[in-house]
Amino acid sequence: MLEKVKELLREVEGFSPKNSEELEVFRVKFLGKKGVINDLFTAFKKVPNEQKKDFGQALNQLKQASQNKFDGFKNAFENTDDGGEDIDLSRKVSLDNLGSRHPISLVRNEIVEIFKRIGFTISEGPEMEDDWHNFTALNLPNEHPARDMQDTFFIEKEPDILLRTHTSSVQVRYMENNKPPIRTISPGRVYRNEAISARAHCIFHQVEGLYIDKDVSFADLKQTLLYFAKEMFGEQTEIRLRPSYFPFTEPSAEVDVYWGLESESDYRITKGTGWLEIMGCGMVDPAVLRNCGINPDEYSGYAFGMGIERIAMLQYGVTDLRLFFENDVRFLRQFQSTI
């Protein structure tokens, strides 16, 4: 028996496979469940006691040598398969399967770039927010009826912690940590507990802007938004502002762009008016400035906010909001780029 183990050890030491198929035959023969090594371990109990020590040592040596031989050639064959001579490293890269940015990213980047050209910086904040920054500091104290305008995801067992319902919370944090003049935009993802449909989703993206300085007026706000609309939708774009209500701005307004009535689709999406709402805006309420440590007697400012999905739907003619979140390759391939 001992001589048989030594003979097998010599066979293992001299083994040199030419390919992975030969290596697999070796593994089955020596290391498989029905291989020779398992058979020898089964026969170990029949070895005379005076030979068990030598036989056991030789058998362990055979097993270790077999495993090392298999592992060494296995790694060698794998490395050859991944980066061997069969791969032509000089071959030109194919440009047929370029990836692309998501349409939400494309629109977000365009909006950000437009406002950066007139001096707005980018500010970001946490998506998991506290009640103060998301509600109270924005003129929405406890039991304020306007809180019902935003169905909120609260964190279980943490009644003061929630998923932010707007990026206005970022503006609060920015005002708390920066002195005027302030000119910033806050793009980001927000959450509201709404039923998912073609026109609504529980997750969406916003860009909100804030400008705080001395003697800022509603006229400054209107000119900024007119500039944005012309850059985003074309030089001939017209806008109108309709009175509205937001707890953190006073006066407040909804901003519409004139989309036109040139097609049946135009009549449908504008409900026959030719106008489309794109954002809300207003002058920052003095109470909000005070909550953030800014003297409203010295400074004033304006704020605005828009949904990126809504702008993207207008830009690309998308009629179902859910398409932005379903990762359907057929949909995403429409936005492929050659650059």
pLDDT tens for residues 196-226?
A: 888 888 899 999 999 999 999 999 999 999 9
Instruction: Specify the higher pLDDT residue, 242 or 339.
Output: 242
Please identify which residue in the block is written with the tokens 């909804």.
254
pLDDT band at 80 (very low <50, low <70, confident <90, very high): low
pLDDT band at 150 (very low <50, low <70, confident <90, very high): low
pLDDT at 10 over 90: no
Rounded mean pLDDT, 89-108 = 77
pLDDT at 188 over 80: yes
- Long-range CB pairs of 136-143 (<8 Å, 24+ gap) are 136/291, 137/172, 137/288, 137/291, 137/292, 138/168, 138/169, 138/172, 138/247, 138/248, 138/288, 138/291, 139/247, 139/248, 139/285, 139/287, 139/288, 139/291, 140/247, 140/248
pLDDT band at 182 (very low <50, low <70, confident <90, very high): very high
- CA-closest candidate to residue 207, choices 153, 258, 278: 278
pTM, two decimal places? 0.68
- CA-closest candidate to residue 221, choices 247, 191, 250, 179: 250
Q: What is the pLDDT of residue 79?
A: 67
Give Cβ neighbours of residue 301 (< 8 Å, ≥ 6 apart): 180, 182, 210, 211, 212, 213, 216, 283, 284, 289
Q: Where are the beta strands (DSSP E) in 132-215?
A: 154-155, 158-163, 182-191, 203-213
Give the integer Cα–Cα distance in Å for 220 and 46.
Answer: 98
Q: What is the pLDDT of residue 229?
A: 95
pLDDT at 304 over 50: yes
pLDDT band at 168 (very low <50, low <70, confident <90, very high): very high
What is the tens place of the pLDDT at every residue in 260-283? 888 888 888 888 899 999 999 999
pLDDT at 75 over 70: yes
pLDDT band at 62 (very low <50, low <70, confident <90, very high): confident
Q: What is the pLDDT of residue 86?
A: 61
pLDDT at 87 over 80: no
